[in-house]
């Protein structure tokens, strides 16, 4: 016997989720910044590589930029260790090949927290909804009865994982020429 209305909780999730995700996707970008030595940057140079380069600016010389990518190796939020050989750690990029450059704005966990919380809520709701179905004569109402608690537990667990993984905020910068 339940004392809450599962349809009301489900309706509230469908109303609140788009509002929360839309707010998280709003632009938080500030003014365009300058790139100086020692700044952590993300560089898009499609003529050299499909992926973006991420690292600290080691030197800015006429026509080229040298990035130190030693602290930029992470997979799923975990550091994979430094690259000890300078030949592979330092990357020289001609400034004519740079399409866009962005400067770090610091750690930002809001977007990943909301994304993982929403994902966890959906998975939790489906798992507990399907798990609460009786073996004989299952109804859609039985499915809805089990969904809310799973959505809450999955959303909290997903939010914790998203916060732990976090992300980085990037702000556009002028390409030094």
The answer as to whether 160 is a domain residue is yes
**Do 87 and 115 belong together in one domain?**
no
**Do 92 and 121 belong together in one domain?**
no
**Do 129 and 88 belong together in one domain?**
no
- Round to whole Å and give the CA distance between 44 and 173: 12
pLDDT tens digits, one per residue of 63-120 = 899 988 876 555 565 655 555 566 677 889 999 999 999 998 888 888 889 999 999 9
Residue identified by tokens 């109402």 is: 141
Q: How many residues does the chain have?
A: 177
* Maximum mean pLDDT: which of 34-38, 92-96, 154-158: 154-158
* Structural domains in the chain (count): 2
118/29: higher pLDDT: 118
The answer as to whether 33 is a domain residue is no
**Do 96 and 113 belong together in one domain?**
no
Q: What are phi and psi of 46, to 5 degrees?
A: -65, -20
- Round to whole Å and give the CA distance between 39 and 101: 11
The answer as to whether 150 is a domain residue is yes
pLDDT value of residue 1: 47
CATH code of the domain in which 94 resides? 2.30.30
- Whole domain around residue 17: which residue ranges? 6-27+109-165
Query: Beta partners for 170?
Result: 104
DSSP state of 72: G
Does residue 33 register a pLDDT over 50?
A: yes
């Amino acid at each position: 016997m339940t004392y809450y209305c599962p349809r009301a909780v489900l309706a509230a999730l469908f109303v609140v989720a788009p509002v929360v995700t839309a707010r998280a996707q709003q632009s938080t970008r500030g003014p365009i910044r300058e790139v100086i030595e020692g700044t952590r940057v993300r560089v898009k140079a499609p003529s050299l590589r499909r992926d973006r380069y991420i690292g600290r600016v080691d030197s800015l010389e006429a026509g080229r930029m040298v990035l130190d990518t030693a602290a930029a190796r992470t997979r799923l939020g975990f550091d994979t260790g430094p690259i000890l050989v300078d030949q592979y750690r330092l990357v020289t990029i001609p400034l004519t090949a740079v399409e866009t450059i962005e400067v770090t704005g610091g750690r930002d966990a809001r977007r990943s927290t909301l994304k993982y919380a929403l994902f966890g809520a959906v998975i939790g709701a489906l798992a507990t909804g399907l798990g609460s179905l009786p073996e004989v004569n299952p109804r859609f109402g039985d499915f809805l009865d089990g969904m809310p608690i799973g959505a809450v537990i999955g959303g909290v667990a997903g939010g914790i994982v998203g916060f732990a993984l976090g992300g980085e905020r990037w702000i556009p910068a002028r390409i030094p020429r």
